[in-house]
Amino acid sequence: VAETAGYPEQLAVLRANDWINADGEEIVHRDLLESLASSIDRHEQVSWTLAQNAGRRNRTDDQTSEQNSDGENELAPDCHISYAAATVGNSGVGAYCIELKIPGKVERVSSKFQTTNFARMHLTACIDALRETRRLMRKDGLRIVLDTPHELTANAVNRGWLETWSQNKWNRREGDRVRNADLWQEFRRLMQRHEVEVRLALDSATSDVMLQQAQNLARREVDRVREDTEFKEQEEAAVKEGTLIRIFTDGSALKNPGPGGWAPIMEVKGKRASQSQGYKHTTNNRMELMGAAETLDFLVNLQADGKIDDVEKVIVVTDSEYLVSAMTRGWAKRWRKNQWIKQDGDKAANTDLWKRILHAGDRLRKVEFRWVRGHSQFSEAFSTENEMCDKLAKEAAEQPEDKLLVDDGYEE
């Protein structure tokens, strides 16, 4: 209650929304918070102190110092981290919500994952919280208080287990490998950059709210994964039947501009074929576009020869936001209509490649452009294919110079 009341903006928002939270549910203890808000209104200023681990420390985030159990003043932390993490059954889907309190600012971060478990979700939340703190504060040597609801995380730090595991090269006394050793190592590495106090969190209104948010986020991700799975199964069936062709493509430029390459993988009737080509001097964007243009031109020729008459749709999967945005938002077609002049009056770049892509799209029945996150560390649809294309494109760009072509359309 003290934490909730300690955020005037939170209390004001709740009252304005008739005590309904962001999930459309009535907030817990509404009657007490409503009475508390009325009481606060009668005073000019109210400061709040939330007792953490009573008997050890009394702390207030609005003060510049704290008192320890001996009554001595200590400096307030540079950052106070609290979080909640949740997983949904055995689905492998999880999420976290993090709150970072730094001087003059409260930052909230949330994220979801498709391949995780309960312990990994908590460790990932701690790691990401420390990374976000470093990003916001832009320095090491910070004094950080990290409140965790995960007993194993708190015990591993405060009982010395983490250091023992490190000394034993991440093996337990019994000789077994420490579970989630990769995350424990990263957590330890980040903590060593700061002075971090890890505390086992007490229940609070804020932690309850964050836990509810994490659970809702994880459940929504489960629903999305199920929908994606069903959609992908239907798509896979269409690929096998030959009514749908999928193109995975990526481009690379080693120095941008510099030596570059493109590499598409085309999937037709369950079979895949790849191609790649390198160029002496070009840009990353041109290689992204050229990979798509070359493959679509190839399909136009196949269609002219009557070899893909049954194809109803072509999907181009790429990590190029430049390509996907221009095609899905209609920018490329507007540029063509306006004689390749953009809205700001400048000439559109790479017009030779945009002309080829649009021409192929006009000839084929239906072409859809789909974006995939490049170099993703998590399991996502088509991330494996994207990595394969990226590898082939880089290999094409790294060929000896006599193997590389000249990109005639490149404009300095």
- Is residue 375 part of the annotated active site? The answer reads yes
d(CA 7, CA 209): 13
- Is residue 251 part of the annotated active site? The answer reads yes
d(CA 147, CA 52): 10
Whether 301 contacts 295, CB under 8 Å: no
Q: Which tokens go with 97?
A: 């919500």
Element (H or E) spanning 235, and its range? helix 205-241
- Is residue 319 part of the annotated active site? The answer reads yes
- The residue among 340, 362, 339 whose CA lies nearest residue 350 is 340
Query: CA geometry: angle at 332 spanning 327 and 334, to 5°?
Result: 125
Among 61, 250, 294, 407, which one carries the catalytic annotation? Answer: 250
Return phi, psi of residue 160, to 5°: 80, 5
User: What secondary structure letter does DSSP report for 130?
Assistant: H
Among 78, 221, 288, 294, which one carries the catalytic annotation? Answer: 288
Which 3 state secondary structure label does DSSP give 328?
A: helix
**Sequence-ordered list of residues with C-beta below 8 angstroms from that of 126, at least 6 positions apart, any chain:** 81, 83, 146, 148, 153, 187
- Is residue 288 part of the annotated active site? The answer reads yes
- The residue among 394, 197, 111 whose CA lies nearest residue 279 is 394
**Sequence-ordered list of residues with C-beta below 8 angstroms from that of 69, at least 6 positions apart, any chain:** 55, 56, 57
- Is residue 250 part of the annotated active site? The answer reads yes
d(CA 376, CA 382): 10
Among 78, 99, 390, 407, which one carries the catalytic annotation? Answer: 390
- Is residue 395 part of the annotated active site? The answer reads no
Element (H or E) spanning 60, and its range? none
Among 267, 319, 385, 407, which one carries the catalytic annotation? Answer: 319
Whether 259 contacts 397, CB under 8 Å: yes
Among 41, 43, 72, 375, which one carries the catalytic annotation? Answer: 375
Whether 249 contacts 263, CB under 8 Å: yes
The total of other beta-carbon atoms located within 10 Å of residue 312's CB is: 12
Whether 397 contacts 284, CB under 8 Å: no
Active-site residue set:
250-251, 288, 319, 375, 390
